[in-house]
Structure 1
Amino acid sequence: MNIKKNICIALLLGAYGFSASAQQKEYSWTNLPKIAQPVFKKDTVNILKYGAKPDGMTLNTKSINAAISACSAKGGGVVLIPQGLWLTGPIVLKSNVNLHVSRAALLQFTNDKSQYPLVEGNYEGHPSPRNQSPISGTNLVNIGITGDGIIDGAGGVWRAIGKERLSEAEWKMLVASGGKVSENGKTWYPSDSYLKGMNEKEAIYLKPGKSLKDYEDMKDFFRPNMVVLTNCKKVLLQNVTVQNSPAWCLHPLLCEDLTLRNVRVRNPWNAQNGDAIDIESCRNVLLEGNTFDAGDDGICIKSGRDEEGRKRGKPTENVIARNNVVYRAHGGFVIGSEMSGGARNIFVTDCTFIGTDIGLRFKTTRGRGGVVEKIYVKNISMKDIIGSAILFDMYYGGKSVLDGEGNKVANTKTYTADITTPQFKDFYVSNVVCDGAASGLLIRGLPELAIKGIHLENIVLKTTKGADISEASNVTLKNVYLECTDTKPVVTIENSSDIKLDGLKYTNNADVLFSVTGDRSKNISVINTDTSKAKEKVTFKAGADSKAITIK
């Protein structure tokens, strides 16, 4: 545990009058998952022995893969990447091998895309043609990628990018390098092949009756995830820096007993789909001491998308994420939106998010199905969050049926809950401090199935807007301080029930403390809260009953 960070959070919470006993509530923290660690033989194979050359020009693909195969065949050990700049194509890991990248080593993947053949891969839970990943491994046991060196995926040659995401000088240099510019002059594409794939409807999926050869003319479109480990057991990634990935950076899929320790992921802020790590349908996972600077989500939990994910039926479960730092990503810690196989028993503690779009981000949408439950989060520090500090959103990529005033949008379809309806329930979030965000808390459920069991305790949110709770039930906010500049209102509760606000603190002289909206809002209880500091305590809109809220 990060003792200094815990002390700082405790002092800040104490300054706002929050009790120590509340801070120490443990929920299920006393019984954390156990993650088995790999063990490697000490035998070491230097890639120099297999003819590798660190001159930055020699393609060392065969030499490195030969060293890995030979090491595995002899029972495993360490394959050493020593000092130097090592140019290479795709590397395939083998069981019982620890690929060790020395501190002074740069493992540089080639920008020659012809070196990456099309393979049958996975995209958001669906079979998909992909270029072979720079590093991959399938059905392995006891594998590692360690060392203090750098692994670079040459992602810039793979990714499209908008002109607005570059400086004028960067844009001119990129256009001069080749590729294609869109007709409106606003987007750069790597090649005609990329454009063909982008314009081909559903090209991303491997359709029945088609082979990989059918996709060769749009090969560049199928950007590889950088490190893909599929159905592997006892996996260790430690100390290395992995950067500049073509798409997702680290993608463990269907793995068990995965440890990521003191790893650094560096992707440009404008890297398309540049997620740091996407943990998909894995169990028994430990992420500790890592630093992520990503172009998309930072730490992301997934389990497949829609029907394919439900058929797979493999939740991501038993995950510990502690002492991690995330910069600039779309989300600091994220679950979804591809969570159709479910997620459960997730423990997040002692993490820091700086400059991310959203801090704690839980997202899904209709059609996904799946259940996300038993999620425990505590001791989180955030600064300069662009959007919401804490977000629960079941309309990812879509719009709510409400217009912002609690009124249904005209001609809105009515939905009935079924197997395709996603569920969020039983979240416990405590000891969170956020200094700067557009909004503090957004909970947005579905009319046909509310978000249930969201419990927030000991929270300090210094933001523009306060809290917005919509289509939710059994929500508790205890010892929450909403210091917001927009106080019209501080808290909006929309078509939600069984809402308890205990010890709420808010900005002095707030315009409106509570806005209760919608005729289905009921059983809202406010206790231990000084409502006299607000100019107006409650407003009611869109058919809300004045009896829906009780203030004691």
Structure 2
Amino acid sequence: MKPLEILMILATISQSSWAAMSGSYCTEIGSSTYRPHSVTVTEFGAVGDGVTLNTKAFYNAMFYLRSFADKGGAQLFVPAGKWLTGSFSLISHLTLSLDKDAVIIGSMDPSDWPVIDPLPSYGRGRELPGGRHQSLIHGSNLTDVIITGCNGTINGRGSSWWGWSDDHTLNYTRPHLIELMYSTEVVISNLTLINSPFWAIHPVYCSQVLIQNLTILAPPGSPETDGIDPDSSTNVCIEDCYISTGTNLIVIKSGWDEYGISFAHPSSNISIQRIIGEAKSGAGIAIGSEMSGGITDVQAEDISLFNSLYGIRIKTSPGSGGYIQRIRITNIAMTNIETAIAVTGQDVEHPDEVYDPNALPIVNMITIEDVKGARIKYAGVLEGIEGGEFSSICLSNVNLEVSSRSPWKCSYIEGYSYLVSPESCEELRNPNQASLCHTSEQVNLTNLVEGELAWQFRY
């Protein structure tokens, strides 16, 4: 076999393995489950006038529905109306279903959002030391949970929280809109989520998660209002969403510095497809900066981004440890983006002073291909860590209309590029990196083919 034939075989098998990875677990997660028992929140005293606090009604409904967990589960229906509530927790084998004209509204009283322990992979609240406010819709150690509706709305009324954050008057980290922890078989679909106090959707330590057909909105200036943040979770599918937020659209995380390293719960097997949106102060698709438990096997495709600070952003720092590997981002359209592609190793925020600055992250096998961009200021900022491993950063078929006279800024990285305009930096012109641009299966096949060739040459 000739070297070119080997590379063609490797590329074909790599593409098929990625297709199998992105499709296999997504098709196994169902978005509809029949529930033999159904009740309406009004049966428990809820009033949909936008004024009456309904936290107790949601609590009582969940308490009642527990008895149906071993009988096929149950549905709690939220009819048309404005349903003011504080934080409440879900149960297993439950569908929370919203009418198209139903709006669940978060209370503006912080005491209606209980303070809970920090996540073990963070060691503290993400914004402040100590605990954090519980999300509006919360769940822990659950199985078979569906949050859905005919485009019903969940409104976090985050403006007060954003003001308290800007004024530094909070005692604890802000709450998410929806957070599920240590849970499996989770579906969140067919909803509009607006004005989350903090990240809108945060599945953490979860598996088998399907998030689809959502609209997620927050004003451009709202601080840290990410759309969807899968965190130390596996087998996650995010599909067919429109997201416009104050910071990032979708961020993959896995713990923070020494806490994430110790907890050692990676994010893996994550598929992101058909996303449209803008992130005025953030990125369309982001990985990190909290990635110390490791992030691997991520596929993002068919993404349309506009009016954003970054298109694709991977960020980490000394002290993070962990790894980001086997990432493939493909078929991306960008318009009016400051920096199209960023891979950086100097994101310097740490949870405390205990982190080990010698714990260097590993970033490798990152493939970004089939990207078109108009009205782009900078093509890419690709800056690794001196003495660290930022390798196999691979760009293919990337065409960007760039206004800057210095479109690329690169340091301490290795990689390969093909059909890239404007022409990429010198660090991305290493042909020896070409065969390492996709997955571990490709690396193994490379070794297999090389071994076979050596056997043929020997015998």
The bucket for the TM-score relative to the shorter chain is 0.7 to 0.9
Provide the C-alpha distance between the structure 1 equivalents of 2:34 and 2:184, rounded to a whole number of angstroms.
Answer: 13
The secondary structure found in structure 2 opposite 1:121 is coil
Aligned to 1:455: 394
1:28 aligns with 2:17: yes
Describe the SS at the equivalent of 1:280.
coil
SS of 1:270 mapped into structure 2: coil
Task: Answer yes or no: is 1:126 the counterpart of 2:78.
Answer: no
Paired residues of 1:124 and 1:338 also in contact (CA < 8 A): no
Aligned partners of 1:87 and 1:113: how far apart in 2? 14
Choose which of 195, 205, 217 in structure 2 pairs with 1:244: 195
Contact preservation (8 Å) 2:318, 2:357: no
For the residues of structure 1 that align with 2:395 and 2:432, how far apart are their CA atoms?
10
1:225 to 157, 160, 176: 176
Say whether the 8 Å CA contact 1:295–1:328 is kept in structure 2.
Answer: yes
Counterpart in 2 of 1:370? Answer: 322
Partner of 2:68: 74
Query: In the superposition, relative to structure 1, how do residues 321 and 188 fare at CA in structure 2: closer, same or farther (>3 Å)?
Result: closer
1:151 is displaced (CA, Å) by: 0.3
3-state SS of the aligned residue for 2:221?
coil
Q: Does 1:151 align with 2:151?
A: no
| Local SS of the residue matching 1:269 | coil
Contact 2:300 2:329 in 1 (8 A): yes
Structure 2 CA distance for partners of 1:497 and 1:458, relative to 1, 3 Å: closer
Q: Which residue of 2 aligns with 1:432?
A: 371
Q: SS at the partner of 1:157?
A: helix
> What SS is found at the alignment partner of 1:477?
strand
Q: Which of 312, 318, 333 is equivalent to 2:263? A: 312
Q: Distance in 2 between matches of 1:301 and 1:40?
A: 31
Which residue of structure 1 lines up, in the alignment, with residue 142 of structure 2? 140
Percent identity of equivalent pairs: 27
- Structure 2 stretches lacking a partner, 5+ long: 1-10, 126-130, 350-355, 435-459
- Does structure 2 retain, via aligned residues, the 8 Å contact 1:23–1:430? no
Q: Which amino acid aligns with 1:481?
A: S
CA shift digits 1:111-145 (9 cap, x unpaired): 12222222213397224311222111000000011
Report the counterpart of residue 457 of structure 2 in structure 1.
Answer: none
Between the aligned partners of 1:273 and 1:428, the Cα distance in structure 2 is 27
Paired with 2:79 and 2:88, the residues of 1 have a C-alpha distance of: 16
Letter in 1 for 2:145: I
Matches within 5 A, 1:460-475: 460-465=399-404, 466-473=407-414, 475=415
Query: Within 5 A, what are the aligned runs for 1:408-419?
Result: 418=358
Other structure's SS at 2:35 match: coil
Matches of 1:328 and 1:429, distance apart in 2? 19
- Is the Cα contact below 8 Å between 2:237 and 2:270 reproduced in 1? yes
Q: Which amino acid aligns with 1:149?
A: G
After TM superposition, give the deviation of residue 469 of structure 1 in Å: 2.6
1:17-416 alignment runs, 5 A limit = 26=15, 28-32=17-21, 33-35=24-26, 36-37=28-29, 39-75=33-69, 76-122=73-119, 125-128=122-125, 129-147=131-149, 148-160=151-163, 189=167, 194-195=168-169, 218=171, 221-329=172-280, 330-386=282-338, 388-397=339-348
What do residues 185-228 of structure 1 show as CA deviations (whole Å, max 9, x unaligned)?
A: xx963xxxx53x5xxxxxxxxxxxxxxxxxxxx3xx43212211
**Aligned length, in residue pairs:** 403
Residue number in structure 2 paired with 1:407: none
Unaligned runs of 5+ in 1: 1-21, 161-178, 180-186, 198-217, 399-415, 483-489, 503-552
Write the distance in 2 (CA, Å) between the matches of 1:393 and 1:499: 22
Equivalent in the alignment of 1:481: 421
State the distance in 1 between where 2:245 and 2:177 align: 13
In the alignment, the residues of structure 1 paired with residue 419 and residue 16 of structure 2 have an alpha-carbon distance, to the nearest angstrom, of 17
- Write the deviation string for residues 365-407 of structure 1: whole angstroms up to 9, x where unpaired: 1100111100111111111112x10111111248xxxxxxxxx
C-alpha change, 1:188 and 1:351, in structure 2 (3 Å) is closer
Given candidates 426, 429, 432, the residue that maps to 1:493 is 426
Q: Deviation of residue 296 (structure 1)?
A: 1.3
Q: 1:283 to 1:321 in 2, by over 3 A?
A: same
Query: How has the CA–CA distance of structure 1 residues 347 and 135 changed in structure 2, closer, same or farther, with 3 Å as cutoff?
Result: same
Counterpart contact for 2:37–2:68, Cα < 8 Å: no
- CA shift, 1:312, in A, is 0.9
Conserved in 2, the CA contact under 8 Å of 1:348 and 1:377?
yes
Alpha-carbon displacement from aligned partner over 1:22-77 (angstroms, at most 9, x marks no partner): 99982632322414425342422111111111111111111122222322321222
Partners in 1 of 2:392 and 2:294 — Cα distance?
Answer: 16
Q: CA RMSD in A?
A: 2.6
Q: Larger Cα Rg: Structure 1 or Structure 2?
A: 1
TM (normalized to structure 2)?
Answer: 0.82
For 2:38, give the aligned amino acid. T
Q: Which amino acid aligns with 2:90?
A: L
